[in-house]
Amino acid sequence: MEQYAVKGGNPLVGEVEIGGAKNAALGILAAAIMTDDTCTIDNIPDVRDTNVMLQAIESIGSTVVRKDRHTCEISGKNIIDQTIDNDYIKKIRASYYLLGALLGKYKKARVSLPGGCNIGLRPIDQHIKGFKALGATVRIEHGMIVAEADKLTGAHIYLDVVSVGATINIMLASVMAEGTTIIENAAKEPHVVDVANFLNTMGGSIKGAGTDVIRIKGARSLHGTNYTIIPDQIEAGTFMFAAALTRGDVTVKNVIPKHLESISAKLSEIGCQVEESDDAVRVVATGQLNHTHVKTLPYPGFPTDMQPQITVALGLSKGTSIVTESIFENRFKYVDELTRMGASIKVEGNTAIIDGVNKYTGASISAPDLRAGAALVIAALAADGVTVIDDVRYIQRGYEDFHLKLQSLGGLIELVDSEKEIQKFRLKTG
């Protein structure tokens, strides 16, 4: 089983290229099968979740041609089956986008109930509410969600909670419905906007994405297109916090600084210097970090997907900080692992009270999920001694070449898969 061996202490310094947004890619790859023409999609991150999505769309008959590591040509022309049921698709949350896409195109879909990171209850009632409002029947049968309709008709849908997944899924299901659909209390995340832009380049008519009211005028059909996925806001934010924790100087390149505003603001608050240019952000950290308080919120608030990364930084900051998780109720599981590295954090319900310590110390720990795993890696890069992190497959779900990018910034990190390799790493890094 692969692990990361990390020796802390080196400040990260240099430039790092950020890849395409995983959560936009997942919606866009599902949307691409909604036309019988070919869509060429670029800047797809080469990570487990996107590869699972590509396998899933191939498994029902779509053609996927990989032009290079980040570019695919996808055609949904030869889809023969609207049932997606295999072991791998159950592991990714975004399998639910295939429900919206297949329902929208073929008026029927059968998809295994979604899995994904175990970060709390993750209901999909709002997706189902949307499909039903458009005229579909939805039932659960043998572990699968089955959605069917004679026809889909535009509707006015108010989301009871701001949900990225439900907003994208309703856009997919309604983009070819008859008439106009209005989604109120829609999610405003950059990846929602990216999926809407993609559907619009396919001939869809979606207005208002990025605000909380989205209007979708049903198109008769969709056509092929060429599209480049936006940069990954969370990958960028993770490297920005890695710079802060290691007292480094890192420029994240190929980003949209506007998408990073809440992250940049918190880094400035804790004492980092943040410089923005057109498509890059530089984070310089010198001296002790300061405490702050933060609450996760839907975009443009501070992202829940950055909560573990800011918590590990505040764990090494002067004074007491409070982090409130308002999106997922079970997203502090990594705190036990961080405690093994010397952090002083008390979790009460959805709040973590953090007493900053002077240093973390290397330990053997496990990545409990994707973002928490990445946060533990950056904690390890700032710790005294060697940390060995298990379950790196979670991190590989969403970060392409994570250890290689960290190495290029001077981080001492290796992918290892035996005790012997860990010993070799210990000897090599002194």
Query: Residues 290 to 309: which contact ligand EPZ by CB under 6 A?
Result: 304-305
Burial class (CB in 10 A: 0-12, 13-18, 19+), 199: buried
Minimum CB separation of residue 383 from ligand EPZ in Å reads: 23
Give residue 179's identity as a one-letter amino acid code: G
| Ordered DSSP codes for 263-315 | HHHHHHHTT-EEEE-SSEEEEE--SPPBP-EEEB-STTSB-GGGHHHHHHHHT
Give residue 247's identity as a one-letter amino acid code: R
Site for ligand EPZ contains 231 (CB under 6 A)? no
Binding string, residues 152-171; x marks residues near ligand EPZ by CB under 6 A = ---------x-xxxx-----
Residue 195 phi/psi, 5-degree rounding, is -65, -40
Minimum CB separation of residue 9 from ligand EPZ in Å reads: 28
How far apart, in Å, do the first and last CA atoms of the chain sit?
24
CA-nearest of 359, 345, 340 to 311 is 345
Minimum CB separation of residue 118 from ligand EPZ in Å reads: 10
Nearest residue (beta carbon) to ligand EPZ = 165
CB 227 within 8 A of CB 267: no
Q: Which is nearer to ligand EPZ, 123 or 179 (CB)?
A: 123
Gyration radius from the chain CA atoms? 22
Length of the chain: 430
Query: Residues 12 to 71: which contact ligand EPZ by CB under 6 A?
Result: 23, 26
Among 35, 50, 126, 317, binds ligand EPZ (CB under 6 A): 126
Residue 120 phi/psi, 5-degree rounding, is 130, 180
* CA 258, chain centre distance (Å): 17
Please state, in angstroms and rounded to a whole number, the distance separating the CA atoms of residues 324 and 290.
Answer: 17
The pair of structure tokens assigned to 57 is 């769309």
Is 117 noted as a catalytic residue in this protein? yes
Site for ligand EPZ contains 127 (CB under 6 A)? yes
Among 63, 83, 106, 122, binds ligand EPZ (CB under 6 A): 122
CB 31 within 8 A of CB 204: no
Minimum CB separation of residue 329 from ligand EPZ in Å reads: 7
Minimum CB separation of residue 42 from ligand EPZ in Å reads: 20
Among 29, 94, 281, 377, binds ligand EPZ (CB under 6 A): 94
Site for ligand EPZ contains 235 (CB under 6 A)? no
Helix, coil or strand: residue 22: helix
Segment interacting with ligand EPZ (CB under 6 A) among 67-75, 117-125, 307-315, 338-346:
117-125
Minimum CB separation of residue 125 from ligand EPZ in Å reads: 5
Query: Residues 317 to 336: which contact ligand EPZ by CB under 6 A?
Result: 327-328
Segment interacting with ligand EPZ (CB under 6 A) among 116-124, 170-178, 205-213, 408-416:
116-124
User: For 319, left (φ over 0), alpha (ψ -120 to 50), or beta?
Assistant: left
The pair of structure tokens assigned to 51 is 């590869």
CB 130 within 8 A of CB 173: yes
Give residue 276's identity as a one-letter amino acid code: E
Q: Which is nearer to ligand EPZ, 123 or 319 (CB)?
A: 123
Among 370, 381, 388, 409, binds ligand EPZ (CB under 6 A): 370
Minimum CB separation of residue 206 from ligand EPZ in Å reads: 18
Binding string, residues 175-194; x marks residues near ligand EPZ by CB under 6 A = ------------x-------
Give catalytic residue positions.
117
Judged by the rule CB under 6 A, the positions of this chain that interact with ligand EPZ are 23, 26, 93-94, 117, 121-127, 161, 163-166, 187, 304-305, 327-328, 370-371, 398
